[in-house]
Amino acid sequence: QSCLARIEATDTRVNAFITITGDEALKAAAAADQQIAAGNIHSLTGVPLALKDIFVTKGIRTTCASKMLDNYIPPYDSTSWLKLKDCGAVMLGKLNQDEFAMGSSCENSAYGPTRNPWNSECIPGGSSGGSAAAVAAQQAIATLGTDTGGSIRQPASHCGCVGLKPTYGRVSRYGVIAYASSLDQVGPVTRDVTDAAIMLGTVAGHDPLDSTSVAMPVPDYTRSLLSDVKGMKIALPKEYFIDGLDPDVQKAMDAAIETYRKLGAEIVEITLPHTDYAVACYYLIATAEASSNLARYEGVRFGHRAAEAKNLLEMFMKSRAEGFGAEVKRRIMLGTYALSSGYYDAYYLKAQKVRTLIMQDFLKAFEGVDVILTPVAPTPAFKIGEKTSDPLQMYLSDIFTIPVNLAGTCGISVPAGISQSGLPIGLQLIGRPFGEETIIRAAYAFE
């Protein structure tokens, strides 16, 4: 009830929710009370959560912030939500995002932008902007987002939350609307590292319905909540600490490094030499996969169907022209071009090779260190509208998070201070593949 009241009081301004499921939430809360009375208690029993609108939810409208799916009521649940529901978690509703998770500011939504609760003139980050804003505005205790190139970590950073992108394959993608399938990964946005550990432990694990989920045992991540980083080797990649980094961000990083030193960690410098190519490589691979994944929206099986088409081809074309927003169309065109015969070798195949080099940079670095420390974003949250006319500028917002997805490894964003203008700044801790326990430990010691 208190979360619903908070949503009622704040969401006309924040616009974190696309769909609010208040009645269902109160029913689920009553059922959780009974579950607790019967002594059947999990850490998440009765805890009010909300999900990015990219997770399909049985019987509950799932739009992915697109007009294309405005009327889509899924007949099944995503595995992540099923696992949370099985623990007795309560869903408050579905959260705003960039359309099909394409964006860095939550401005590419068919349902209007989400506003940063710290300053409503600013973006909350994206694409999981609603997931971070809802936690920051205390509308939900914790939320789930997805991260293809930074979409959990970057909004968490801009809203002063914790955001964890697990290793590719750690969490099932079943029932997560696909953007770029080789990069997409599910993860929590929370108030603190403890909640992130609990949420991750609940959703992680092998799923027979997602062949890319990995059959490795799920550790009890809450056992990594130790304030101890003595002897931990923390690396600073020189390519990430460049001139031109926002001075407030630089200051927050310097202070964080000092904190780790005091806690007994060993700080070393490393190089990740292919960093410069990450953004270009990402925007070829992500758009190529998106162009293929989004081919399913043709107005026949589900989603928007144009009203007055004369024949089938025109129906496909009109439905897509009307249903998709500008950024989604831009990505489909870029990706189709990169995959087309004659250009495939020069763009897509080349990008795959560069991706391998970036992955190898990380694996090599992790032979000698435990954690890599970087900023999450080059600047604190920018103003709504500031970058919408310049897509390339917008794409650079994810320069520090994108390499982690290309490498398939894990990263966490933790609050690390406030800028002069009063906006949160996040610190990124990157771990080796399936090294979530180590980054949780390092994040917990810092927080």
Q: How far is the CB of 147 from ligand GLN (least distance, A)?
A: 5
Q: Which tokens go with 323? A: 């249903």
Q: Of these, 46, 74, 150, 411, which contacts ligand GLN (CB under 6 A)?
A: 150
Binders of ligand GLN among residues 267 to 286 (CB under 6 A) are: 286
Q: Of these, 99, 107, 147, 298, which contacts ligand GLN (CB under 6 A)?
A: 147
Of 105, 109, 127, 157, the catalytic one is: 127
Give the pairing of strands 17-20 and 90-95.
antiparallel
Please give the size of the binding site for ligand GLN, defined by CB under 6 A. Answer: 13
Q: What is the 3-state secondary structure (H, E, C) of 99-151?
A: HHHCCCCCCCCCCCCCCECCECCECCCCCCHHHHHHHHCCCCCEEEEEECCCC
Alpha helices by DSSP H, listed for 208-349, are 247-262, 278-293, 312-323, 326-339
Give the span between the Cα atoms of 357 and 361, in whole angstroms.
6
The smaller minimum CB distance to ligand GLN, of residues 60 and 404, is found at 404
Residues 419/377, Cβ–Cβ less than 8 Å? no
Residue 72: phi and psi, rounded to 5, are -90, 120
Q: How far is the CB of 241 from ligand GLN (least distance, A)?
A: 22
Q: How far is the CB of 127 from ligand GLN (least distance, A)?
A: 4
Nearest alpha carbon to residue 127 among 103, 154, 107, 96 = 103
Active-site residue, 151 included: yes
Q: How far is the CB of 12 from ligand GLN (least distance, A)?
A: 26
Tokens 């925007």 locate to: 283
Q: How far is the CB of 68 from ligand GLN (least distance, A)?
A: 17
Q: How far is the CB of 429 from ligand GLN (least distance, A)?
A: 18
Cα angle 142-201-89, degrees, rounded to a multiple of 5: 45
Q: Which stretch binds ligand GLN (CB under 6 A): 22-30, 37-45, 148-156, 198-206?
A: 148-156
Q: Mask 80-119, x = binds ligand GLN (CB under 6 A)?
A: ---------------------xxxx---------------
Q: Which amino acid, residue 255?
A: A
Binders of ligand GLN among residues 178 to 197 (CB under 6 A) are: 179
Q: Which stretch binds ligand GLN (CB under 6 A): 40-48, 147-155, 156-164, 385-393?
A: 147-155
C-alpha distances in Å from residue 180, one per residue of 176, 277, 400, 406, 431 = 11, 18, 18, 11, 22
Of 52, 83, 94, 387, the catalytic one is: 52
The smaller minimum CB distance to ligand GLN, of residues 149 and 411, is found at 149
Q: Which tokens go with 398? A: 């994810």
- Listed in sequence order, the residues at least 6 apart from 306 whose beta carbon sits closer than 8 Å to its beta carbon are 299, 314, 315, 318, 319, 321, 322
224 lines the binding site for ligand GLN (CB under 6 A)? no
Q: Of these, 88, 93, 124, 149, which contacts ligand GLN (CB under 6 A)?
A: 149
Active-site residue, 52 included: yes
The smaller minimum CB distance to ligand GLN, of residues 239 and 398, is found at 398
Q: How far is the CB of 151 from ligand GLN (least distance, A)?
A: 3
Tokens 């991706």 locate to: 355
The smaller minimum CB distance to ligand GLN, of residues 150 and 433, is found at 150
Q: How far is the CB of 287 from ligand GLN (least distance, A)?
A: 8
Burial status of residue 45 (CB atoms within 10 A of its CB: 0-12, 13-18, 19 or more): middle
Tokens 């949780």 locate to: 440
148 lines the binding site for ligand GLN (CB under 6 A)? yes
Q: Mask 398-417, x = binds ligand GLN (CB under 6 A)?
A: x-------------------
Of 151, 397, 413, 419, the catalytic one is: 151
Tokens 């989004």 locate to: 294
Q: Of these, 62, 131, 151, 213, which contacts ligand GLN (CB under 6 A)?
A: 151
- Listed in sequence order, the residues at least 6 apart from 357 whose beta carbon sits closer than 8 Å to its beta carbon are 274, 277
426 lines the binding site for ligand GLN (CB under 6 A)? no
Q: Which tokens go with 376? A: 């999450």
Burial status of residue 72 (CB atoms within 10 A of its CB: 0-12, 13-18, 19 or more): middle
- List residues with catalytic annotation: 52, 127, 151
Give the binding site for ligand GLN (CB under 6 A). 101-104, 127, 147-151, 179, 286, 398
